[in-house]
Structure 1
Amino acid sequence: MFGLGVIGLLIYAYTIYDVVSSKFGGQNDKIVWVLVVLFLPLLGTILWFLMGKKTTI
């Protein structure tokens, strides 16, 4: 059980890093994505990998 928590935390941390290091058209998009991932950790991570990565330039 502890291993799943560590894996989940690593995926969550990688998602935040990926959002911050991605190139966007505007700075506001990056702020919105960081807030979505921070306030909705599981859903935000899923949405980022399904929709967000496609919108980066």
Structure 2
Amino acid sequence: MMGLSVGGLFGLVVLVLDVWALISIIQSSAETVNKVLWVVLVLLLPVLGLIVWFLFGPKSR
């Protein structure tokens, strides 16, 4: 039963961080094409996409 709670909490944290990343990507000064590519990456690969975006993604304005 504890595993379900930890997994649910992890999923919620990933969801919140992904939403934060998407907002940051949209507000960034990057070109539209780059924004779309980053959004697709974060949506298709939530954990890996979030890590890659955090390390290499466009910065906010």
Instruction: Give the SS at the match of 2:57.
Output: helix
Runs of at least 5 residues in structure 1 that lack an aligned partner in the other structure: none
Match of 2:11 in 1: 5
Q: Distance in 1 between matches of 2:35 and 2:49?
A: 13
Calculate the TM-score normalised by the size of structure 2.
Answer: 0.73
Q: Which of the two has higher C-alpha Rg?
A: 2
RMSD: 1.8
The answer to which of 41-50 and 8-17 deviates more is: 8-17
Listed one character per residue, the Cα deviations across residues 27-55 of structure 1 (whole Å, up to 9, x for unaligned) are 1111111111111111110000000136x
Runs (4+) of structure 1 exceeding 6 A deviation are none
Aligned residues: 55
The gaps in structure 2 that reach 5 residues or longer are 1-5
Quick one: distance in 2 between partners of 1:44 and 1:6? Answer: 16
Identity %: 33
Using structure 1 for the length normalisation, give the TM-score.
Answer: 0.77
